[in-house]
A and B are shown apart, each in its own frame.
Chain A
Amino acid sequence: MKPVIVTKGITKTYQPDTIPVHALRGVDLTIKEGEFVAIVGPSGSGKTTLLNIIGGLDRPSEGYIEVGGKDISALSDNALIDFRRDNIGFVFQAYNLIPVLTALENVEFVMLLQKLPKDQRHKRALELLHAVGLDDKISKRPIELSGGQQQRVAVARALASKPAFVLADEPTANLDSVSTGQLLDIMANLNREEQMTFVFSTHDQRVIDRAHRIITLEDGKIISDQLGHG
C-alpha cells in the first residue's frame, strides 16, 4: 500500500521566545492507504498538535511532512487551504457544521467549494448521508440533530471531497457510548469497504479497542506504535 502521510523529525515549539513549550519533539511517522489509526496519549502529549500539522492546519517548527506524495511545507497559506479542501477530510470535536445549513447542504458545501456541478453534489451528498445512516435527517439543521448525528454528518462531509484521508481529533469526546459505537461502526465500515484512511485521536478505551494501529504519544514523542485489536 502507498503511504499517504510521511513525517520526518517533526518538532513543534510554542512560544519559542518566552517560555518554550515543546509540544512535539521529533515525530517520524508513516501512514499508509487504508489504515485505521488511533493516536493516543495523555492530555498535553501533543496529539492535537500532530493532527493539525498532518492536516496542514499548522506548520511544524522543524521536520519534513509529505501528504499524498506532496511536500506541503512549501505551500502558501491560501494554497494550503485549497490543498486541505481537496485532500483532507476533517472531523472536529464540535462546531463541525454550518449552523444555518441543513445536513444535506452542509455535505454539499465542500463540493461547492470544489466547484462540482449541482446535480453531482446533490447525488453524492445523498449517498454519503445514506452511508452514515441519516437518510431521514437530510433537511434538518445541526441544531435539530443529536451530537452523534451531527458527528455522522461531519463524517459524511469529510468524505464528500474524496480526500486522501480523514483526520478526526477526538471525534467522540462529546458523545455517549451508543453514539460513539455508531460513529465507530460507520468509520470502520467506510474504512473496510472504501479503503478510506482514518487517523483519529482519542482518550476513550472503547475507541482505542476498535483501531487497527495504535500510536501512543507521550511528551511530544512516539513511545509505542503497535497493532490494535480492531
Chain B
Amino acid sequence: MIFKVAWRNIWRSRTRSLVVISAVVLGIWAIIVITGFSIGMVRTYIHTAILNEWSHIQIHRSDYFVDKALEDTLPNGFAIYQNLKNEFPEELLSPRLLVQGMVSSPKAARGVTIKAIQPGPENATTELQDHLSQGQYLDVDSRNPMLIGEDLADKIQVSLNNRVVLTFQSYSGEITAASFRIVGLYKTKDSRYDSQHIFVRQEDIKKLLGGDGLHEIAIRVPDGTDFQPIMDRIVKEYPGLDVQSYKTLSPDLELYESTIGLTSTIMTIIVMLALIFGIINTMMMAVLERIKELGMLMAIGMNKQRVFFMILIETLLLGCIGAPIGMLVGYVTILLTSNTGLDLSAYSAGMREFGLSDIIYPWVPPTIYWQLAIAVVITALIGSLFPALRAIRLRPVEAIRTL
C-alpha cells in the first residue's frame, strides 16, 4: 500500500510532477542524442581516416620513421608484399614507395610527400578514385601522370592538365627533377592531408630514382573484421619489421576512440547533476506542504523508517517514470538518424578543416541504456535523501499543533 500511496501522492501536484518527469525525459533524451551524435562524429572521423589515410596496419622497415629516408626501404619489400597477399587474400593491400620532395608550378612551390603507388591496389585499399573531384585516375595511358589534392592545387595555382615539376633526391643522392602532368584532382574529408600528398605511379618514378623498392605496405581489413589478430600474425611472422596499427600511427585516432566511452559518462554526470536539484526541490515542496499529514501518520504509528521509505519510493517513482520514456525517445531518435545519417553538408566547409565528414551516423553503445537506468536510480536516491530526512525530523506534536 505504501507504493500505492507514493504513486498517488506524485499525482497530487500533477503539474509540478510533470515538470520533473519532463525534465528527466528531456535530460535522458539529450544524453542519448548528444552522445550518439558525438560518437557518430568520432566514429565517422576514425572510419574515414582509416579508409582514406591510414589503413588498419602499416608495415615499414624498423628504422623507417627515424628519418624517412629514401634508402629506408623494406628489405625484400616486393617479396613480403607477395607473401602477405597470398596469406591474406581477403585483406586489401597497397605497396607504396614514398619520396619526400617538392612540387613546383610557375607560381609557387611546396614540400610534399610523393606517394608512388600501384593504381589498382591503392584504389582497392584507400578508394582513392572515389575521391577524384576532377579528371581521371592514374590508370591512364599517359606519360608521368599525377594526382594532386585540390587544396594543394589552389595553393600552388595549378589546374587540371597543367604540368608541374617534382624535385627529389635519387638513390644515388643526386637532385632529380621531372615534369608530371596533373591528370586528376582529389579531395578527401581532410584538407590537411590533401595539401601534403600527391600520387604518382611507381613505374614512372622508379626510373627517375634509379632504383626500386617499397617503403610501406598498407593493409586494410574488410568492414566488420577485427584487424588485431591479423596484425598479431604479421608481427610474429616478420619480427624485424615495424608493424603498427592506425592507433599508434595516428595517436589522435586512438585518443578519439578512447573518448567514445567517456562522452556518455560526462554527459550523464552533467545532466544528472542538473536533475538532482529539480528532484530535491520538488520533493522538498511535497514534504513541506504535507507536514500535517506526515505528522498525523507518525502520530498514528507510522515509524520513521516507513516515512523515510515512503518519501524514498515517491522520489524514485518521480525520478524514474521519465527514464524509460526518455530512453525510448532517444532510442528512436538514434534509430531513425543512424540509417540515413545526419547531413551536415551545410557546415561541411568548416568541418573539413578538422577532417570531419559531412554525414554523421549517430550511434550509442547499447550499454548506455543500463548506465542511464542506474544513473537515474542513483540520482533519485540521492535526491530523496534530503526530503526524506526532513520528513523524519518532524515531531508529530508540532506538526499537528499547526492545525
Contacts and interface: CB of A to CB of B under 8 A. Distances in A.
A52 B400 CA distance: 10
Contacts of B299: 55, 57, 84, 90, 92
Given A52-B397, A92-B403, A98-B293, A85 B301 contact: yes
A66 B396 CA distance: 20
A157 interface: yes
B155 interface: no
Nearest to A160: B300
Nearest to B2: A112
Interface in A57-112: 57-58, 77-78, 81-82, 84-86, 90, 92-96, 98-101, 105, 108-110, 112
Nearest to B304: A78
A100 B9 contact: yes
Given A92-B400, A95-B292, A100-B5, A81 B303 contact: yes
Contacts of A94: 403
Contacts of A55: 299
A84 B4 CA distance: 24
B293 A113 contact: no
Contacts of B304: 77-78, 81
Nearest to A52: B397
Interface string B387-403: 00000000011001101
Interface in A25-64: 48, 52, 55, 57-58
Nearest to B303: A81
A93 to B, nearest CB: 6
B6 to A, nearest CB: 9
Interface in B265-314: 292-293, 296-306
Nearest to A59: B397
Nearest to A100: B8
A81 B403 CA distance: 20
B12 interface: yes
B295 to A, nearest CB: 8
Nearest to B295: A95
Contacts of B305: 78
A81 B297 CA distance: 10
A11 interface: no
Contacts of A85: 300-303
Query: 9 nearest interchain CB pairs?
Result: A85-B301, A100-B8, A81-B303, A95-B292, A58-B397, A57-B397, A84-B301, A113-B301, A112-B1
23 contacts: A55-B299, A57-B396, A57-B400, A58-B397, A81-B303, A82-B303, A90-B296, A90-B299, A92-B400, A92-B403, A94-B403, A95-B293, A95-B296, A95-B400, A99-B12, A99-B293, A100-B8, A101-B4, A105-B4, A108-B1, A109-B1, A112-B1, A113-B301
Given A100-B9, A113-B306, 14 more contacts: A78-B304, A78-B305, A81-B301, A81-B303, A84-B299, A85-B303, A92-B403, A96-B296, A99-B293, A100-B8, A101-B1, A101-B8, A109-B1, A158-B300
